[in-house]
Amino acid sequence: MNSTGTVARDWSRLPEDLLLIAMAAMEVPDVVRSGAVCSSWHAAYGTFRCLRLSTPKQPPCLFYACHGYGADAAALYSPSGNATFRVGFPDLGRHTIHGSAHGWLFITDEAANPHLLNPLTGARAALPPASTFERVKRSFSGNDGGVRYSVDIGFSKGAADICHISARKAMYYLYQQVAISSPAAAACVVLVVHRPCGALSFARTGDERWTTVSVQDPLNHADEDFGFIISAVHNDRDGLFYVMVETGAVHALDLGSPRRLVARSKVLVLPPTTVFWPDPQDIHYLVFTGCSDLLLVTRRRRTTWAEDYSNKARRRVEYSVATTDVWVDKVDVDRQMLVRLTGVGDNVLFLGRNNSPLCLPTSDYPMLSGDSAYLTTDHDDSFDPPIRRQDVGVFDLGSSTMRKLGDVWDALPHGGAPQVKDTRELRERT
């Protein structure tokens, strides 16, 4: 009893089962925050992670490496609460993240082999090794004993052009885009756009090798064997994967049962002038709305270069990439055309290189800014020096202005782009 005569409640003595029920009803940042209340709550938070409990609908968060957090931790930023939290992530420095969806990170290890990881629960799901991609072979160990790969980068069938790269290089070079179908590991299908030549492969968790998907480009008459993929996304409503090649052809891929069956159907061929040989400063995203409308979102960037005179051989060093405009077109399948929209209304977009594009209604997530695009860096630095300033912020589609995302901008390390996590399914049972 306290000085006012009322009974003081000691929340640290709450039974663990009650704490677990409460945590299962919280948003992700609140769960992480609750683990720092006291020793008993910290222990309950550890149990919560081990049990991999499910939670209600979650707003997206940003997950990224951060200086000062240590080699075994990363940062989790909540746009809704404008707050950053430390999350345990063993051996973060020895992995590379290439995509995320449904609570999964698509991550590669030191040998460039991929797997899925849920950073909050620690759950993992195995994927086939990199050497099972078509035209990629694990060749030999280098002088230092490290793994190396032989990659056939030839553009024409039958004309091999083999290059040898280290595993460290392969971690960044091989993987371009990732689409993930499900939060449940047993039912999860992963579609990967990868090098060489913008190839497309898929696998289910536990498979021994990747299966190549051949998507012909009906507008590329010069070489029908290659249609470079510029966007890939999974539609949760119909269970299909959608991919768009550079000339504007969009295909729907059925990668469901029976096993290994790939049923292709051409959805749309846009006019060649729409996407054909796109401006290298433009990035295109296929995005599905909550009512299954298909959007084509274009993000225009400005790249600034500086010359480095520190060495005798002058070289060009990139130091800034910034988004200058974002516009949205609705894909009209019936009329085979694009319809320019003024924005996304009471919806919000999440766009970036290492996350699946999202379109969420603000009616479900009132803490997010409507008619906006939450942007993370989208830059392929496989051949370029790391960028010095991250292209991260909230782009208002109505005013075409960009604002910073709280403390994320200053916290990011050089070259450490954040990954958007669709945390609506972050703790779904796997």
Q: What is the pLDDT of residues 163-192, one digit of tens each?
A: 888 888 888 889 989 999 988 888 899 999
pTM: 0.79
Distance CA 40, CA 355 (A): 35
- Categorise residue 343: left if φ over 0, alpha if ψ from -120 to 50, beta otherwise: left
Please give the pLDDT value at position 56: 54
**pLDDT greater than 70 at residue 156:** no
- 352 contacts: CB under 8 Å, gap ≥ 6: 375, 376, 377, 378, 417, 418, 419, 420
Confirm if 192 and 202 have CB atoms less than 8 A apart.
Answer: yes
Tens of pLDDT along 107-130?
998 889 999 988 777 788 999 999
Distance CA 268, CA 214 (A): 17
344 pLDDT band (50/70/90 cuts)? very high
Please give the pLDDT value at position 279: 62
**pLDDT greater than 80 at residue 342:** yes
- Which of 31-40, 55-64, 403-412 is predicted least confidently? 403-412
Q: What are 307's two structure tokens?
A: 């010359």
Confirm if 256 and 298 have CB atoms less than 8 A apart.
Answer: no
**pLDDT greater than 80 at residue 266:** no
Confirm if 278 and 246 have CB atoms less than 8 A apart.
Answer: yes
Confirm if 287 and 357 have CB atoms less than 8 A apart.
Answer: yes
Please give the pLDDT value at position 93: 63
Higher pLDDT, 412 or 395: 395
Higher pLDDT, 163 or 267: 163
233 pLDDT band (50/70/90 cuts)? very high
Higher pLDDT, 40 or 409: 40
Q: What values do phi and psi take at 127, rounded to 5?
A: -125, 160
Alpha-carbon dihedral of residues 79, 81, 87, 92, nearest 10 degrees? Answer: 20
Distance CA 153, CA 3 (A): 77
Confirm if 395 and 323 have CB atoms less than 8 A apart.
Answer: yes
Alpha-carbon dihedral of residues 214, 219, 225, 231, nearest 10 degrees? Answer: -50
34 pLDDT band (50/70/90 cuts)? confident
At residue 367's C-alpha, the angle toward residues 181 and 41, to 5°, is 80
Please give the pLDDT value at position 168: 86
CA 10 to chain centre: 42
Higher pLDDT, 264 or 369: 369
Sheet of strand 162-166: strand arrangement? 136-141, 147-152, 162-166
**pLDDT greater than 80 at residue 416:** no
Q: Which amino acid is at 19?
A: L
Sheet of strand 189-194: strand arrangement? 175-180, 189-194, 199-204, 211-212
